[in-house]
Chain A
C-alpha cells in the first residue's frame, strides 16, 4: 500500500485556521482541513478560490426556464392549439408560472448535482477512511491532511513541519 497522506490533529477551529495559513505559506497545495462544520474564513486561510457553483446554478436555471417557455409555446401554438377562454394562442402571461417553476427546479439540480460533481462525490470509498482518526472530523476533530501527491511532500519533512506548527497525533495514512 502506498502512502496517501499525512494527517495531524489540532485542538480547535482557531488553531486549525492558523495551521491552514502556515501550510499554505509553506507552499503546499494538495492539502485539506477537515472539520465537523464549515469554518468562516477558512477558504482564505487555505488560499482557495471562490466556488463556481453559482455559475452552474445560473446556467441550469436559465436552461430550465428556456425549456419551460419553449415547451409551452410549442404546445399551445403548434402541437395542440386550443382556444382557452378566448385567449390568443401565444398567451405568454400564462406561461410565466411554469417557466418560473422549471427555472427553480433546474437551478436546484445545478446546485446539488453540480456541487457533488465538483467535490467528486458520491464515492463509496476514499483512502483517508483507512485512518481511524479522520473519523473525528465528523464529531469534534480538527484535522489537516497533506496528500502525498503534493510536489513538496516528503514523509519526514512534512511530518516534522506538521509537528512544528502544533499538530498532534500525526499519522501516516496508507491506501491504494
Chain B
C-alpha cells in the first residue's frame, strides 16, 4: 500500500490538538472577528429591514411579473439549500465510506449546513405573500377542517427540508457533545463551567457511553445519507413535476443533487481557506485536505456540465418544438448572458483542477471556489427565470429584473449566514477534537504493540 501523508501534521499530541482547537475560543476575541461580525450583523439588519418592508407592502416590492411569478426567492432558496448539502455529504457519506480525512472539516461543514438551511428556510416562508397564514403549510388541525395538499411537491419540500434541518442539527450536536465536555473540563470561570456543563449533558467519556454513542452516530450517518440525496431531489420536483418546457425533465433529481454537492463544496472550500489562514490551522486542514475537496469539485462540476449538455441533446432528441425552443432560448435568448456566466463558472473553470499544480494552489482554488458559488447561483436563476419569461403565449412574454428589495434580501441573507457562522467559530470547537484524535496513529491501541517498527497495524 502506498504510504499516505499523515492526516494531522506537525507532530501534534492529543493534548496539542486539545490546546490548538480550544485555544481558538479561549483566547481574547480578535479584533478582526469583531470587524467581520459587525459587518455581518449590519447585513443581517438589512435582511430584517427588507423582510419587514416585504411584510408591510406585499410581494409587489419584488420584481415579479406575469409570467415570471417565481423569482429570486426561489433562486435563493435552492441556492442556500444546495450549499448545505456538502456538510451532510462530508459528515455522513464520507463517514460511511471511511474517509478519515473528513475529520478535519466535518464540524464546520456541518455548522455551515445548518446555517445555510436556516437561510434557505427564510425564502419559502416569506414568499407566500400572506405571511400570517404561513402555518397552512403544516398539517395542523384547524377550525376550517382544512389540510395541506399532500400531493404537491411544494409540501414535500416542507417535510424534506424540515427533516433535513432537524437531522443535520441532531447529527451536529451529537458530534459536539464530547468536545463540549472538553470545554467544560477546561473552563476557568463558573459561568462557563455551568453553560458547557449543561450543553455537554454530563458526558464523561466512559466506554459504556462510547459504545452507544458510536452506534448512534453510525445510524445517524446511515439515515442522513439517503436523506441528503433525497432533499435536493425533492427540491427539483418543485420544477420537474410542472408542465413547463425546460423544467419537465427526468434528469432533474440527480442533476440537482450533483449541483448541490458541487456548490456546497465550493462554499466549504471558501470558508476552509479563510478559517485555516485566520486561525493557523495548517497542520489540521492540510493542503491534502483541500486537494481532496478540489477533486470532488472537479467530479461534481463535470457531472453538472454533463447534465447541461445532455439537456440540450434530449431537447433535440425529443422532437418537441417547445422543448427545443426552451433550450435554444436558454443558451442564446434574452438571458444568454446568465447562461454563459453559469456555464463558464460551473463547467469550464473547474476543469483547471485536472492539474495537480492548480489543485494545490491556495489562491487558485480560492478564486475557483468563489466562481463555483457564483455559477451555481446563476444556474438556479437560469432554470427558474428563462423558462418562465418565455412561456406558451408570445403575447405574454416579459423580461424579469430584480428590484432593490430582491437584491437587499439576498445580500442580507449572506449577513445572517456569516453572523451565525462567526458566532459558531467564536464559541464552539470548529474542528472535532474527538474525531481528529481518533484518526491519529497514536489512537490505535495496536500502535503500542511490539514490532510496531515493522509497520504495525494501520
Give the interface of A toward B (CB within 8 A). Answer: 12-17, 20, 32-43, 46, 48, 50-51, 53-54, 57, 61, 71-72, 75-76, 79-80, 82, 84-85, 87, 91, 94-95, 97-98, 100-102, 104-105, 107-112, 114-116, 118-119, 121-126, 128-129, 134-140, 145
Q: Name the A residues within 8 Å of B447 (CB-CB).
A: 13-14
Q: Name the A residues within 8 Å of B448 (CB-CB).
A: 12-15
B308 within 8 A of partner (CB): no
Q: Name the B residues within 8 Å of A33 (CB-CB).
A: 206-207
Give the distance to chain B from A94, nearest Cβ to Cβ, in Å.
4
Q: Are A38 and B438 in contact (CB under 8 A)?
A: yes
Given contacts A20-B207, A108-B170, 16 further A-B contacts (CB under 8 A): A13-B443, A14-B446, A33-B207, A35-B205, A37-B443, A39-B445, A51-B216, A53-B216, A53-B219, A79-B147, A87-B151, A98-B156, A101-B163, A108-B166, A111-B223, A139-B182
Q: Are A104 and B445 in contact (CB under 8 A)?
A: no
Closest residue to A125 on the B side, CB-wise?
B202
Give the distance to chain B from A22, nearest Cβ to Cβ, in Å.
14
B444 within 8 A of partner (CB): yes
Interface size class of B (residues with CB under 8 A): 35 or more
B437 within 8 A of partner (CB): yes
Residue of B171, B184, B205, B237 ringed by the most chain A CB atoms within 10 A: B205
Bound-state Cα–Cα, A171 to B146, Å = 65
Among B162, B163, B181, B210, which residue has its beta carbon within 8 angstroms of that of A35?
B210
Among B149, B159, B224, B437, which residue has its beta carbon within 8 angstroms of that of A97?
B159
Q: Name the A residues within 8 Å of B215 (CB-CB).
A: 50-51, 53-54, 115
Closest residue to B437 on the A side, CB-wise?
A37
B203 within 8 A of partner (CB): yes
Q: Are A98 and B150 in contact (CB under 8 A)?
A: yes
Q: Are B202 and A124 in contact (CB under 8 A)?
A: yes
Closest 5 CB pairs of A and B: A14-B448, A122-B201, A140-B14, A115-B216, A32-B206
List 9 A-B pairs, Cβ < 8 Å.
A20-B207, A33-B206, A36-B14, A37-B438, A39-B445, A53-B212, A107-B219, A108-B167, A140-B15
Known: A115-B213, A138-B178. A35 touches B151 (CB 8 A): no
Closest residue to A128 on the B side, CB-wise?
B204
The dominant DSSP class at the A interface is: helix
Closest residue to A95 on the B side, CB-wise?
B150
Q: Are B178 and A36 in contact (CB under 8 A)?
A: yes
Q: Are A36 and B434 in contact (CB under 8 A)?
A: yes
B402 within 8 A of partner (CB): no
Give the distance to chain B from A115, nearest Cβ to Cβ, in Å.
4
B214 within 8 A of partner (CB): yes
Q: Name the A residues within 8 Å of B230 (CB-CB).
A: 97, 100-101
Q: Are A36 and B433 in contact (CB under 8 A)?
A: yes
Bound-state Cα–Cα, A17 to B202, Å = 24
Q: Name the B residues within 8 Å of A112 (CB-CB).
A: 170, 173-174, 216, 220
Q: Name the A residues within 8 Å of B435 (CB-CB).
A: 37
Residue of A100, A128, A138 ringed by the most chain B CB atoms within 10 A: A138
Known: A42-B207, A75-B139, A108-B223. A139 touches B185 (CB 8 A): yes
Bound-state Cα–Cα, A135 to B434, Å = 14
Bound-state Cα–Cα, A82 to B14, Å = 62
Q: Name the B residues within 8 Å of A51 (CB-CB).
A: 211-212, 214-216
Q: Name the A residues within 8 Å of B445 (CB-CB).
A: 13-14, 16-17, 39-42
Known: A94-B151, A97-B234. A139 touches B207 (CB 8 A): no
Residue of A71, A72, A98, A135 ringed by the most chain B CB atoms within 10 A: A98
Give the distance to chain B from A39, nearest Cβ to Cβ, in Å.
6
Q: Are A80 and B145 in contact (CB under 8 A)?
A: yes
Q: Are A37 and B446 in contact (CB under 8 A)?
A: no
Bound-state Cα–Cα, A116 to B182, Å = 18
Q: Are B223 and A107 in contact (CB under 8 A)?
A: yes
